[in-house]
Amino acid sequence: MALLEDFRQAVIAGDADGAAGIAAGIASEGKASADEVIASLSAAMEEVGGKYETGEYFIPEMLRSAAAVERALQVLDPYLFERRQEYAGVVVMGTVRGDIHNIGKDIIISALRASGYEVHDLGVNVSADKFVARVKEVDADLLLLSAFTTSTRQALVDVLSALEAAGLRDRVKVVSGGAAHSEELAQEVGVDAFASDVKGTLAICRELLGGKHLPGSGGETGC
């Protein structure tokens, strides 16, 4: 689809107005699926990351491309994911301490909200204590941790230790994901599951809750 290629180019060029305009075209034509749009923007950001690695781009260029994606996602949000009415559960999500990447987190949050989850977005650079306090406050079913740089390993461990210390580790399932994150790292730090994309995340969340909030299960809260 030509629009998707134009979209990719606008993101790489860091052209926020262009990306938002093309996103509006994609939404009104309704021809590209969420998978295709996310694949296109992920490929663009992959290329931006490549340009950063080779010294062609620096932080300001990466920030411009990220801003272009964010503007486009604001336009696309109502169209991207199929909306479901049923209540699916309570999620707390954020990017761990020391890490300020947010695009992947925001896409996952959009998909979860569309799928009926009540999501509490704590933003980026979130401390272990803040995660734990919110999990307790909202009695979360799931805690989703975004970690995009390999240096965030300790931050993941800190969240799990803080949950344990607060006596909450058995009450909430923890899922991690994000660029530069892997199944091996997830297993090593001891989260319950790892996912690398939207589909995988939705499937894992459903599986971990095991139908807890489905009608007739006795777990609905009516939110």
Burial category of 132 from C-beta neighbours within 10 Å (exposed 0-12, middle 13-18, buried 19 and up): buried
Give the residue carrying structure tokens 């490929």.
Answer: 43
Does the footprint of ligand B12 cover residue 159 (CB under 6 A)?
A: no
Could you say which of 96, 97, 104, 156 contacts ligand B12 (CB under 6 A)?
104
| Residue 4 CB, nearest approach to ligand B12 (Å) | 15
Could you say which of 71, 97, 105, 113 contacts ligand B12 (CB under 6 A)?
105
| Residue 150 CB, nearest approach to ligand B12 (Å) | 4
Parallel/antiparallel/unpaired status of strands 89-95 and 117-121: parallel
Could you say which of 80, 103, 109, 163 contacts ligand B12 (CB under 6 A)?
103
Beta strands in 58-215 (DSSP E): 89-95, 117-121, 142-146, 173-177, 193-194
One-letter amino acid identity for 87? Y
Question: How many angstroms separate the CA atoms of 61 and 63, rounded?
Answer: 5
Could you say which of 27, 75, 198, 202 contacts ligand B12 (CB under 6 A)?
198
Helix/strand/coil for 177: strand
Sole window of 4-12, 23-31, 96-104, 133-141 interacting with ligand B12 (rule: CB under 6 A): 96-104
Sole window of 27-35, 105-113, 157-165, 211-219 interacting with ligand B12 (rule: CB under 6 A): 105-113
Does the footprint of ligand B12 cover residue 55 (CB under 6 A)?
A: no
Total residues contacting ligand B12 by CB under 6 A comes to: 39
| Residue 218 CB, nearest approach to ligand B12 (Å) | 27
What radius of gyration, in Å, describes the C-alpha atoms of the chain? 18
Among residues 178, 202, 199, 204, which one has the least CA distance to residue 189? 178
| Residue 144 CB, nearest approach to ligand B12 (Å) | 4
Going from the C-alpha of 151 to that of each of 52, 147, 181, 184, the distances in angstroms are 18, 9, 10, 15
Does the footprint of ligand B12 cover residue 168 (CB under 6 A)?
A: no
Sole window of 4-12, 24-32, 162-170, 175-183 interacting with ligand B12 (rule: CB under 6 A): 175-183
Question: Under rule CB under 6 A, which residues in 120-149 are in contact with ligand B12?
Answer: 144-146, 148-149
One-letter amino acid identity for 91? V
Give the residue carrying structure tokens 């707390």.
Answer: 92
By the criterion CB under 6 A, which residues form the site for ligand B12? 38, 42, 45-46, 48-49, 52-53, 59, 62-63, 66, 98-105, 107-108, 144-146, 148-150, 175-180, 195-198, 201
